[in-house]
Structure 1
Amino acid sequence: MSPEPITPRSSAIAGGPPASTAASVVMNRCDELATHSALPDGLIERVYLSPQHAAVNARTGQWMRAAGLTTWQDPAGNQCARLDGHRQGLPALLLASHLDTVPSAGRYDGILGVLIALAVAERIAASVPAADRPVALEVLAFGDEEGTRFGTTLLGSRAVAGTWDPNWWTLEDADGVTLHDAYLAFGLDPAAVGAAARTPAELVGYLEAHIEQGPVLDEAELPLGVVTSIAGARRFQIVVEGAAGHSGTPWARRRDALAGASEAVLAIERIARGDAGHPTGLIATVGHLVVFPDAVNVIAGRVEFSLDLRGEFDDARDTAWLGIKAAMTAMSERRGLQVTWEQTHSASAAHCSERMRGVVAAGIRSTESAEPDAAAPPELFSMAGHDAMALAAVTEIGMLFVRCAGGVSHHPDESVTEADVARAIDALEAAVLDLFEQYRAEAVPVGAEGSDSP
């Protein structure tokens, strides 16, 4: 299958194919990548370091090369491409998102952002001469944002940000395969993962387009929005232990772990929601629960469940966790149970820079045929985590949200329109060109020697 070209917007203005051609190609590419799945019957699951991961990297790499970009797969398994500036060695503006999925996923979460970024890079390669590019432009397709296989999110982007944790090598998937061994099976060298890291001197910024994963834009009947910040998240594995026993055991003698876990889950919801009329800015989710011995006529002796706790501000999130711990401890003492917990993930809240928010907003406005005094593009806080969170450790970040029907995400019904995708491509391109002007005026210094090399 030969790669389809993206038509630069300048050609469309000059009388070539309409600007919507680029969006049509992006939508078709989303459909094609959806076929690379570990699940049958049209369902989508594509996890880190799997054969499906290798397949989408290879196909995306073909499209990147057809766009005129130099490509490579980095030591963390991320698919990368670069368009140089007016000379080699210049620092880069990164456009990125991820290609991995959750189980039974939709086809746009992450994937759409990668392909919009590629469409923009292809337009700029065709319409902006190298001599007019003050910095390099890179497109990154991260291999693991969701954490589906090894339980720890943002592995691909954290490698690029230089925040890789060596303790991750012993993480195991459901089949008992360690992350270390999965690297070897994928053809990667675990000892070389540090070479994926970028330094602040090599970068000038990061932009990510992503479906909203919420209903705000859809309910407002608006196609695009500006992200202000991304929630900080902490994840825990919690265990409640009691004593298994016959279902005929009298109430006074029961040490029911499931009853205790149920009380804990309700306490989590109560604390995170806060009092009526006093929103906390927090979201807490218990999405996984396992009961032992899991028999209809046996009192549960052990329950394991997950907690995903997110907030716009880290201090409020952490205060809520202290309250949750106190509530679970009180519950366990009252019921004669034992409760323990282990933190499995932590990420600080990330705030988009004023500069990046500004260029994204300006890019959105450039797609509108509105009066000069029209309302500014909507600003949204993201409760969902994104690769931008990891890159905030090394450069300034910005995000563009694209409307998603009904706010449905992480589900096969995930849906976007071609018209919205067309506007997102135009908006992100305008944002990049705006940044080019700013970087040109600021005379951005050259990055680390050889930073343009794969």
Structure 2
Amino acid sequence: MTTPILTLGQTLLQRLDEAARHSEPGPGVTRLFCSDEHRAVLEVIKEWMSKAGLTAELDASGTLVGRNERARAGEKTLIMGSHQDTVVEGGKYDGMLGVALPLMALQALKEEGVELPYGIEVVAFGDEEGTRFQSTLIGSRALAGTFDPASLEARDAESVSLGQALEAFGGDPEAIPGLARDPDSILGFVEVHIEQGPVLEQRDHAVGVVTALTGIERHRLIVTGKAGHAGTTPMPGRRDALVGAAEMIVEVDRVLNATDDFVGVVGKLEVRPNAVNVIPAAVEFTLELRSPDAEVRRHGRDGILAACRRLAAARGLELDIELTYEAEAVDCADWLVDALEDACRACEEPAERLFSGAGHDGLAMCDLTDIGMLFVRCTDGLSHHPDEAISASDAEAATRVLMRFLAELGKCPG
């Protein structure tokens, strides 16, 4: 009995299944920056890079970088890639698809005898989600030359600093500034990613071309009241931090629902002392806000935070607000949008143009070079969830589109 020959799409899904096995126990995929699971998945990616004709190296920021001979020789280089890390109990395609797919495309071109007339660099960034340290885009900011050394002091739930974790992982915090690329040596940055939304599925399209990435900001709010016995403290006059925080969260939801092109979430909440018969003394929660329009986001943010301060004062609570992350919306380069659109048409795939409601490493890489992004349809538009899924046929289509894009890139005016 002969072994069936797998399509590019089927092989790609098998590779993504293999990468997903490197996860903390539990539903979905949980793989954090500088973790044992991160270390293990890099061995898998190194093998993919080797098959694609790239030489792999871990850089000082924890990014695995694969380069072809032209890139290593200093020729003008196209950077592709995405991130390996996940949210807690996330899916197997968010981020990792953008690492595995370009390597599959490069391997297929190599096997077809196609030699690209420019340098290629594929990156597996260590941290984009910000799950472990609440600090994100570490690797991409390093390449763009915008890395903030102060972020090395960020600490995880076990009080391990980002700098300490990087050193233990094999990175070199002090060497990160030296990773900045020369803009004149870079052709652009292209990322492939699942859409994380329903548009392509509604249009019955396998792929789409991204025109811009959303602006994002994140805050940490700490509401402080006063603990007390839940049975003996009268209701009037209580300084219940959780009740105050609940009112604030409801206000967040109200403003978001009342404002066009504005979305957000309170995704994490911690209560202290978190006891069944004690009035909550303090609540810490996160607030993330997104909009393609910077003015919409800022106006909505100001309204939300002003309301939170009023609600805190009305209940005699203290409120501390800290901005932990902010990135403005950025446009994809017209020439890359056009080139990806042409590649879609050449592969007889509809070239839907759409906006990304998520951020991605392009928010940092745009400070270095032109950026472009190809979306791949995902089932039910679902992402950041164990049921995240794409089909083998869509994986095949996206790989073929990227192959065509790479083959034609040398002819583009960009």
Normalised by the shorter chain, which TM-score bucket?
A: over 0.9
How far off its partner does 1:403 sit?
0.7
Q: 2:91 is matched with which residue?
A: 106
CA deviation map 1:164-187 (0-9, x unaligned): 111111111222211111122112
Mapped to 2, the partners of 1:149 and 1:107 lie a distance apart of 18
Is 1:288 paired with 2:268?
A: yes
Mapped to 2, the partners of 1:415 and 1:43 lie a distance apart of 11
How far off its partner does 1:84 sit?
3.9
The question of whether the paired residues in 1 share the 8 Å contact of 2:362 and 2:371 is answered with yes
Q: Which amino acid aligns with 2:283?
A: V
Is 1:207 paired with 2:181?
A: no
Q: Which moved more, 1:177-186 or 1:376-385?
A: 376-385
How far off its partner does 1:211 sit?
0.6
How does the TM-score come out when normalised to structure 2?
Answer: 0.93
How far off its partner does 1:331 sit?
1.2
The percent identity for this pair of structures is 41
CA deviation map 1:377-397 (0-9, x unaligned): 222221222112111111111
Is 1:269 paired with 2:250?
A: no
Q: CA RMSD in A?
A: 2.0
Runs of 4+ in 1 over 6 A off after TM superposition: none
The question of whether the paired residues in 2 share the 8 Å contact of 1:83 and 1:121 is answered with no
Matching of residues 341-352 of structure 1 within 5 Å: 341-352=321-332
Mapped to 1, the partners of 2:90 and 2:17 lie a distance apart of 13
Mapped to 1, the partners of 2:221 and 2:86 lie a distance apart of 25
Cα distance 1:173–1:285, how it changes in 2: closer, same or farther (>3 A)? same
How far off its partner does 1:246 sit?
3.0
The question of whether the paired residues in 1 share the 8 Å contact of 2:206 and 2:394 is answered with yes
CA deviation map 1:107-166 (0-9, x unaligned): 111111111110122233344654xx4421221111111112111111121112111111
CA deviation map 1:17-51 (0-9, x unaligned): 98x622222111111111112225x7422111122
What secondary structure, in the 3-state scheme, does the structure 1 residue paired with 2:49 have? Answer: helix
Q: 1:187 is matched with which residue?
A: 170
Mapped to 1, the partners of 2:71 and 2:236 lie a distance apart of 78
The question of whether the paired residues in 1 share the 8 Å contact of 2:28 and 2:385 is answered with no
Matching of residues 352-363 of structure 1 within 5 Å: 352-363=332-343
Q: 2:15 is matched with which residue?
A: 29
Structure 2: 5+ residue runs without aligned partners? none
Q: 1:253 is matched with which residue?
A: 237
Q: 1:115 is matched with which residue?
A: 100
Structure 1: 5+ residue runs without aligned partners? 1-16, 370-375, 443-454
> Which residue of 334, 339, 343 maps to 2:319?
339
Mapped to 2, the partners of 1:258 and 1:63 lie a distance apart of 49
Q: 2:389 is matched with which residue?
A: 415
Mapped to 1, the partners of 2:13 and 2:71 lie a distance apart of 32
How does the TM-score come out when normalised to structure 1?
Answer: 0.85
Cα distance 1:264–1:208, how it changes in 2: closer, same or farther (>3 A)? same
Mapped to 1, the partners of 2:374 and 2:51 lie a distance apart of 25
Q: 1:322 is matched with which residue?
A: 302
Q: 2:66 is matched with which residue?
A: 81
How far off its partner does 1:405 sit?
0.5
Matching of residues 355-374 of structure 1 within 5 Å: 355-368=335-348
How far off its partner does 1:315 sit?
2.3
Q: State the aligned residue count.
A: 410
Mapped to 1, the partners of 2:214 and 2:394 lie a distance apart of 25
Q: 2:127 is matched with which residue?
A: 144
Q: 2:377 is matched with which residue?
A: 403
The question of whether the paired residues in 2 share the 8 Å contact of 1:121 and 1:139 is answered with no
The question of whether the paired residues in 1 share the 8 Å contact of 2:59 and 2:171 is answered with no
